[in-house]
Structure 1
């Protein structure tokens, strides 16, 4: 009697396992879908790389210009550069924050 119960229990267990397996079948993506996702990712990375390169070059030029102005002892120009940077940095920060919010990226607000 015990053996019959065990066989029935194993049979039900196997049946339930097959039901679970069938219910959780993952859809295998097609090749063109994968290629579209990969192409989109590459385009996003290329755009980000260009943006980061532009910011790097502008920062380097700003540092170089500041060094040049200080070395030539032109305080008026130096003050104007400082004032313009104080005005533009918050604008750049707000624009970047809006852009990230539009992309649903995780952002670090420092809080």
Structure 2
């Protein structure tokens, strides 16, 4: 009796495993689908790199301009630049957050 029960149990288990395997069969992507996904990823990464480079250059020029303003002792220009920068920070943050959400950009959060 025990042997018959065990055999039925194993057969039931094997049939359940087969059904589970059949239900979760992953579709193998075609070569053109992989190449399309890869080229799309590369183009998005290239756009992100160009944008980051532009932001870096703009930031470097801003720091250089601030250094010249301070070295030439023009405090009013420096103060106005600081005030405008503080006012613009929330707008830049909101625009960047909206752009990232809408474009599904490849993000590297460092995690």
Superposition TM-score, scaled by structure 1 size: 0.79
Instruction: Name the SS for the 2:65 alignment partner.
Output: helix
After superposition, the CA RMSD in angstroms is 2.3
The CA distance in 2 between the partners of 1:92 and 1:69, in whole Å, is 24
Q: Structure 2 stretches of 5 or more lacking a match?
A: none
Query: Matches of residues 44-83 of structure 1 in structure 2 within 5 Å?
Result: 44-83=44-83
How far does the alpha carbon of each residue in 1:63-82 deviate from its partner, in whole angstroms, 9 at most, with x for none?
11111111111223223322
**Residues in 2 aligned to 1:38 and 1:74: alpha-carbon distance in whole angstroms:** 51
- 1:22 Cα offset (Å): 1.3
| Pairing 1:1-111 to 2, within 5 Å after superposition | 1-103=1-103
